[in-house]
Structure 1
Amino acid sequence: MKTNPPYRAEHIGSLKRPADLLKKRTEFESGVASSAELTAIEDKAIEHNVKVQRNAGIKAMTDGEFRRHMFFDGVFDNLEGMTHLTEVPPHMFKMYVPDVAAFAKLDFHGADTYICTGKLKRTKPFYKAQFEGLKKFTTPEEHGSLKVTICAPEWFHLRHGEYAYDHKVYKNDAAYFADIAQAYREEIKELYSLGCRNIQFDDPLLAYFCAESMIKGMEESGVDHEALLNTYIQTYNDCLRDRPADMTVGLHLCRGNFKDGRHFSEGGYDRIAVKLFNEIDVDCYYLEYDTERAGTFEPLKFLPKNKTVILGLISSKLPQLEDREELKKRIFDAAKLIADGEQKRTVNEALKQICISPQCGFASHSEGNAVTEQDVENKLKLVSEVAQSVWC
């Protein structure tokens, strides 16, 4: 049994970026501001953000992803063998992928991506600087609970399919993902050596397998979605094969969190629940449950006794605070369903497997959702208050 996170009150990772940080990043990207000037503003914002989380009662603190533009930054932009394409032909995108289809309705012009053009190799750290940059604003006692959010290993593969890598470099998906998994194992090993004991994969793509639109599109395109899901599950397990026993690994699924709270897919976890909970070697699942598009709690009946589910009951997209009593009711509803699930247990035992959080981050991209910094503080405090009323 792990003694480190997850905690009863959790948050997904990204927080609302202050205006001066956004301004300075724009100046940096246009060549007006220096890297040192940007780092100074990032540090100031992260130091404040740590205080906000600490005051709200959040133990698994993050840097708010303030040193990133998008939540998935970090891995593929640092991995040798990946090439950044600033203008991507539309045929290289798989239109059955929900977010690809959504962006296609807007405009493909200017779309950029990363494609594998050479042998993949981790030649430099992915998240070391971000973790070390967070540690300096926290106490040694807090270091063991700090959380690093990490890009999903299949991120560019799903959207590009056969165009994801040069077939002269890799003959098939197995060879491609073998080197990706090796890179992740090396990254996890280094993060652990730095004191990191809590990582969270951010993966909207697995949730897309719940979307009927994608399943239908894959079938029409001749893609075996069951086999592809199995490939992704195996990739996760290969990435985590050597992870230390006392490192907690979480998996966050959502349906999109773009500008103005835009989501990309709908559908309950029913289609993937058995595999999700029983075949992927992670400790906890951060699941979106703030709206009906995520379905019911019914899939939680497949949650095994040795894992935890973090219920994303609180919206990070809207400023309005949810009703505390309704949130508590939903937690107990989930516990009763888990208790009566495939592996029987008491309601109290099931409650010990549940935590609460917002459904997603407050800023998956740099601009963030339509909430203020004060709204973020209020939401995080609500998470802690509800957790205390249920579990303390």
Structure 2
Amino acid sequence: MSAPTLKLNPPFRADHIGSLKRPEKLLAKRKELDEGKCTAAELKPVEDEAIREIVQLQREVGIKSITDGEFRRHMFFDGVFDNLDGMKYIKPVPMEMFMDYVPDVAAFKELDFKGADSYICVSKLKRTKQFYVPQYEALKALTAPEEHKNLKITMAAPEWFHLRHGEYAYPKDVYKNDDEYFDDIATAYRAEIADLYAAGCRNIQFDDPLLAYFCADSMIKGMEERGVDHVALLETYIRAYNKIVDDHPADMTVGLHLCRGNFKNGMHFSEGGYDRIAIKLFQEINVDCYYLEYDTPRAGTFEPLKHLPAHKAAVLGLITSKFAQLEDVDDLVKRVHNAASIIASGEPKRTFEQALNQICISPQCGFASHSEGNAVDENAMRAKLSLVVQTAKKIWKDA
């Protein structure tokens, strides 16, 4: 039986993660909504105008995998659990319900984030309304028909609230174990993906910093101290992903984005290379491509890429979205070639050219994981995205 075919279109040689810098007029109007001073209907035309402008920016710099910048969200993980029957919004959440070993939880507790909100499962989970289809349809309405196949929708990680709430993630009289819990979550995601596909979406990306946390010694140590089997938990999450994506349509590209946190002022939450999880990440999760943070040494070396199968793509996040200073093009090209050499040395062996064909590049994360965004203005964001395209064109003829 022949190996699956490498899918590269999408992702494109020059890609981006999804979230983009929101304009002040949009932030101001959303603040009015949050304060009860305007309605969602009054917010929508402001969102539409901002999305038209950010779509045009992506066109102008040469980015083809167009997103709406996540302008209709407050946080990158919005969309699923706030729309899923059986989840309850809680504010404030008792601090003991947050697992201290989760790197972002530990960081926020140090910042004294009393009054934090969250979603907790209280009854059987069921999808009774769409999560992201309305956002995709709205983006279609603001783009040209020939662009629709390239529109990308980003999605929340299925284990988002499970990891941070641990034993409090669901009542034991509702679900007997994690697999039962994730069976219902997978059913919901599969229905959403089917609806997205029916609407014309061919490019989805799971945003999942949590898998990268399994690379962090701090989380592994904290889990062991609390008696949590981190090996078994990672296996649980892999099973959950595969229940969701195993039979996704062949002409739909499914990507998985891992980073180590991208909060205000470039704050990160964890460190550690992909070495600890590389085999499971690349060989056991049945997605088509991986968006990987590689803008700083804390992400480790390219060595784990030797475990990348020949039919999958790696989108290397070599360009930071955390600050405005531009990276050097020649250095970026050198790093891509280094990564290709390592991929070529893996099993099965492949040529340098074949390995290079498995690589794309992007910023390491979005420019606004939360609505306020990073400490990078629109001009700097434009320059960063232009640099991604410029570098790709220097490396690949099909960029």
Is TM (by shorter chain) over 0.5? yes
Measured against aligned partners, the alpha-carbon deviations of 1:279-318 in whole angstroms (never above 9, x if no partner) come to 0000000000000000000100101100000000000011
The offset of 1:14, in angstroms, is 0.2
Query: Contact 1:267 / 1:295 at 8 angstroms: preserved in 2?
Result: yes
What amino acid sits opposite 1:240 in the alignment?
V
The offset of 1:107, in angstroms, is 1.3
Q: Equivalent residue for 2:238?
A: 233
Distance 1:354 1:207 in 2: 20
Q: Equivalent residue for 1:249?
A: 254
What amino acid sits opposite 1:198 in the alignment?
N
Of 307, 313, 320 in structure 1, the residue corresponding to residue 318 of structure 2 is 313
Distance 2:347 2:100 in 1: 36
Q: Equivalent residue for 2:36?
A: 31
Matched, 1:219 2:224: yes
Q: Equivalent residue for 2:98?
A: 93
Per the normalisation by structure 1, the TM-score is 0.99
Measured against aligned partners, the alpha-carbon deviations of 1:184-236 in whole angstroms (never above 9, x if no partner) come to 00000000000000000000000000000000010111111000000000000
What amino acid sits opposite 2:204 in the alignment?
I
Query: Contact 2:54 / 2:69 at 8 angstroms: preserved in 1?
Result: yes
Matched, 1:109 2:104: no
Query: Contact 1:203 / 1:254 at 8 angstroms: preserved in 2?
Result: yes
The offset of 1:3, in angstroms, is 6.2
Matched, 1:147 2:152: yes
What amino acid sits opposite 1:163 in the alignment?
Y
Measured against aligned partners, the alpha-carbon deviations of 1:86-145 in whole angstroms (never above 9, x if no partner) come to 111111111000000000011131101000001100000000111011111211111111
Please list, as runs of the form range in 1=range in 2, the aligned pairs for 1:76-87 lying within 5 A after superposition. 76-87=81-92
Q: How many matched pairs? A: 392
- RMSD (Å) for aligned C-alpha atoms: 0.8
Query: Contact 1:277 / 1:302 at 8 angstroms: preserved in 2?
Result: yes
Measured against aligned partners, the alpha-carbon deviations of 1:28-68 in whole angstroms (never above 9, x if no partner) come to 11011121221111000000000000111111110000000
Q: Equivalent residue for 1:285?
A: 290
Show structure 2 runs of 5+ residues with no match.
none
What amino acid sits opposite 1:273 in the alignment?
A
Distance 1:241 1:76 in 2: 21
In structure 1, the residue corresponding to 2:150 is in which secondary structure? coil
The offset of 1:342, in angstroms, is 2.5
Q: Equivalent residue for 1:359?
A: 364
Distance 1:280 1:301 in 2: 16
Query: Contact 2:8 / 2:313 at 8 angstroms: preserved in 1?
Result: no
Q: Equivalent residue for 1:207?
A: 212
Q: Equivalent residue for 1:332?
A: 337
What amino acid sits opposite 1:152 in the alignment?
A
The offset of 1:4, in angstroms, is 3.1
Q: Equivalent residue for 1:125?
A: 130
Query: CA distance change for structure 1 residues 3 and 300 in 2, over 3 Å: closer, same or farther?
Result: closer
Q: Equivalent residue for 2:24?
A: 19
Measured against aligned partners, the alpha-carbon deviations of 1:338-365 in whole angstroms (never above 9, x if no partner) come to 1112221111000000000000000000
Query: Contact 2:26 / 2:47 at 8 angstroms: preserved in 1?
Result: yes
Query: Contact 1:185 / 1:242 at 8 angstroms: preserved in 2?
Result: no
Distance 1:89 1:222 in 2: 21
Distance 2:338 2:359 in 1: 11
Distance 1:273 1:68 in 2: 31
Query: Contact 2:272 / 2:298 at 8 angstroms: preserved in 1?
Result: yes
Distance 1:151 1:389 in 2: 33
Q: Equivalent residue for 1:60?
A: 65
Distance 1:99 1:29 in 2: 25
Of 255, 260, 268 in structure 2, the residue corresponding to residue 263 of structure 1 is 268
Q: Equivalent residue for 1:160?
A: 165
Distance 1:38 1:165 in 2: 34
Distance 1:341 1:197 in 2: 30
The offset of 1:275, in angstroms, is 0.3
Distance 1:342 1:256 in 2: 31
Distance 2:359 2:71 in 1: 28
Per the normalisation by structure 2, the TM-score is 0.97
Q: Deviating runs (4+, > 2 A) in structure 1?
A: 1-4
The offset of 1:154, in angstroms, is 0.3
Q: Equivalent residue for 1:322?
A: 327
Measured against aligned partners, the alpha-carbon deviations of 1:250-296 in whole angstroms (never above 9, x if no partner) come to 00000000000100000000000000000000000000000000000
